[in-house]
Amino acid sequence: MSSTTCQICDGEVEEFLDLGRQPLSDAFPAEGDLGHEFFYRLAVGMCRSCSMVQSMEQVPRERMFNEDYPYYSSGSSVMRAHFEGIARGFLGGELARPDPFIVEIGSNDGVLLKTIHDAGVRHVGFEPSGKVAAAAAERGVRVLGEFFDAGTAAGTRESDGPADVIFAANTICHIPYLRSILAGVKTLLAPDGVFVFEDPYLGDIVAKRSFDQIYDEHFFLFSARAVQAMAARFGLELVDVERLAVHGGEVRYTIARAGARKPKAVVADLIAAENARQLADLRTLRQFAAATARIRDDLVATLRRLRAAGHEIVGYGATAKSATVTNFCGIGPDLVSYVCDTTPAKQGRFTPGTHIPIRPAEAFSDPYPDFALLFAWNHENEIMAKEQGFRRAGGQWIRYVPDVHLG
């Protein structure tokens, strides 16, 4: 266990969980690329000063977010509805003013900005990953193929004026250079504007023992306490929080310029709840780390037992999260025959590091396997609704969050 320097406050980050040597979670090698993958050490710690939970090592941003980035936000019907709801909320709320302007960081395939574009509202999305950005542009969304940071934010302030809303989903936690992002937000945000972002919540990760939320892209695991302290360091203020059920449990944070808005009582309530459960205590986080090791041992023993009894096991959903699970647990094609996934860019390729073949979703029922390891557990409701035939055919799901269970 080692220590490093906090990306937010330069305090000392103490490691509490080592998930070992890991590949990029969203880089799915083709047959010819096997053996040439990039690896790094995936470990997390907590800052002793500001309590921000963060990775011990950084992966260069261009390695993760480039032309080949394969995650398309519109791939899930639940997420499409989620983002349409957020866009409608902004249109009827923060953007219901003369000539409003919204900026999205990590706009991906335009899943949110499409609704804004259709309403004729000024917008721009920052999206460095080429193919997903092109998909948004095809929908008419205005996209800049750049990383948002202090420099690019200043450019947009100059060309478009101040933003009433800066929004980001599942992106801010990906960014180690968060100080540069916050400087950019300060430059670009209108005096009474809001910076709204939603990301996986440390409180849910610890409660559900969902260690697979930790991977290269999830550099920070946010808590309300750490986000409040971070905002204050930059002359900003956390004014609202909302817990969300999507992606296994997230929080939406609303940040304004310090003193511009009165913080809602839910901010203090959530921080009090975090303090009551000692979320910012290294002992709590070490217990979480111990639970992670138990889940790994249980899962591997279960898979080996089922395989020894002659059962076929397949994975459901080649999620970024599954890279952590398969690499930490050492799960390869000897235990899981293939992983089915709806994303064409992943099909015909292999899981990062562990090289399990990825097949189209249709392969799942042709014929059904005996057991399916639910890697996409964050999309559980959507998947259970459409895969009822699997259980009817006698199949069983294998889950590992919050513990290993079959059914």
Contact positions vs ligand TMP (CB under 6 A): 71, 75-76, 317-321, 341-343, 346, 361, 376, 378-379, 382-383
- C-beta of 129 vs 223, nearer to ligand SAM: 129
Q: SS3 for 366? A: coil
Report the nearest approach of ligand SAM to the CB of residue 241 (Å): 18
Q: Are strands 39-47 and 53-55 parallel, antiparallel or unpaired?
A: antiparallel
Structure tokens belonging to residue 145: 């193929």
Residue ranges in 139-261 assigned as alpha helix (H): 150-160, 178-188, 202-208, 224-233
Stretch that binds ligand SAM, among 3-11, 105-113, 153-161, 184-192 (CB under 6 A): 105-113
Q: Is 132 in the site for ligand SAM (CB under 6 A)?
A: yes
- Residue length of the chain: 407
Residues 238-244: contacts with CB under 8 Å, at least 24 apart: 238/263, 238/267, 239/194, 239/263, 239/264, 239/267, 240/264, 240/266, 240/267, 241/266, 241/267, 241/270, 242/266, 243/201, 243/270, 244/198
Nearer to Zn ion, 8 or 205 (CB): 8
Query: 184: exposed, middle or buried (C-beta count within 10 Å: 0-12, 13-18, 19+)?
Result: buried
Residue 156 engages ligand SAM in binding (rule: CB under 6 A) = no
**Site size for ligand SAM, by CB under 6 A?**
21
Residue 108 contact partner, candidates ligand TMP, ligand SAM, Zn ion, none, CB within 5 to 8 A by sort of partner: ligand SAM
Find the shortest distance in angstroms from Cβ 45 to ligand SAM: 22
Binding range to ligand SAM, per CB under 6 A, among 67-75, 233-241, 331-339, 372-380:
67-75
Q: Which residues, including other chains, have CB under 8 Å from residue 310's CB and lie 6 or more apart?
A: none
CB of 136 to ligand SAM, least distance (A): 10
Which lies closer to ligand SAM via its Cβ, residue 29 or residue 106? Answer: 106
Nearer to ligand SAM, 151 or 402 (CB): 151
Residue 103 lies near ligand SAM (rule: CB under 6 A): no
Instruction: Give the list of residues 6+ apart from residue 380 with CB closer than 8 angstroms, or none.
Output: 374
Q: 128 touches which of ligand SAM, Zn ion, ligand TMP, none (CB within 5 to 8 A by kind)?
A: ligand SAM
C-alpha 319/C-alpha 379 separation (Å) is: 10
Instruction: Give the DSSP letter string of 104-129.
Output: EES-TTTTTHHHHHHTT-EEEEE---
Measured from the CB atom, the residue of 104 and 341 that comes closer to ligand TMP is 341
When the beta carbons of 54 and 129 are compared against ligand SAM, the nearer one is 129
The rounded distance, in Å, linking the Cα atoms of 162 and 114 is 21
Name the site residues for Zn ion (rule: CB under 5 A).
6, 8-9, 11, 47, 49-50, 52
Residue among 25, 50, 56, 65 that touches ligand SAM (CB under 6 A): 65
Distance, CA of 198 to CA of 195 (rounded, Å): 10
Residue 220 C-beta: closest distance to ligand TMP, Å: 17
Residues that bind ligand SAM (CB under 6 A): 65, 69, 71, 73, 79, 105-106, 108, 126-129, 132, 147-149, 169-171, 174-175
